Amino acid sequence: MTQLDFISKLHTRTERDYVQRVVEHDKAKCAAVAKEWGADYWDGERQFGYGGMHYDGRWRPVADEMVAHYGLKAGDRILDIGCGKGFLLYEFTQAIPGIVVAGLDISKYGIENAKEEIRPFLKAENCTNLPFEDGSFDFVYSINTFHNLYNFELMSALEEMQRVGRTDRYICVESYRNEAEKANLLYWQLTCETFYTPDEWQWFYDLAKYRGDIDFIYFE
């Protein structure tokens, strides 16, 4: 298990006023709306989620880095757990013509409004019970999804990810290393259900016998 960093460059591009996030709107009500995973979360006002998630090509460097690191090639099968609108999966198809992609997300709205070219390969499903055969994919990844699960769901999701993967796996979650990052995470997040340090995440990975790479996002 190796700790990698594919996401921090994207994460740090966004400026965040953590305190303002709490005091400007009713945070509890905003979180309740966000957890419906509907239009407000993806394309509504910023206090409910992304504030409008539109394709802008920012995920292409991530796809290129992953392709190089994992040696992905035409004919390989990739699964994105928590794919949202499928932007990263689309970039894989551009980086490697002939790659086979699949994605799932809990949000029906996200799938219905995914990038048109990738939409036929996406499903609105729960990651605790993946609709795929054992060892179906050469590369399985999940970015910013597993921290939205309750702890009693997390084990099933990790075991399912392990089950459907054949070779390489990668998980990125939000985490914290000190009290300042913990407070910032609590202020900023809308959908997190599990708030763990890297060591606690590692404990879950070991318990689930997860064999793959890991990554963390911190709110500094």
Task: Summarize pLDDT for 55-94 with one digit per residue, the tens.
Answer: 999 999 999 999 999 999 999 999 999 999 999 999 999 9
178 phi and psi angles, rounded to 5 deg = -155, 175
β-strand partners of 101: 78
Residue 38 in any domain: the answer is no
218 bridge partner residues: none
CATH number of the domain where residue 178 is located = 3.40.50.150
Give pLDDT tens digits for 82-141: 999 999 999 999 999 999 999 999 999 999 999 999 999 999 999 999 999 999 999 999
Asked if the structure places residue 205 within a domain, the reply is yes
> What is the Cα–Cα distance from 122 to 131, expressed in whole angstroms?
12
Is the distance from CB of 129 to CB of 104 less than 8 angstroms? no
Q: Is residue 50 part of a domain?
A: no
Considering its fold, how many domains does the chain have in total? 1
Q: Is the pTM of this model over 0.85?
A: yes
63 within a domain of the structure (yes/no): yes
Q: Quote the domain boundaries for residue 141.
A: 8-28+58-217
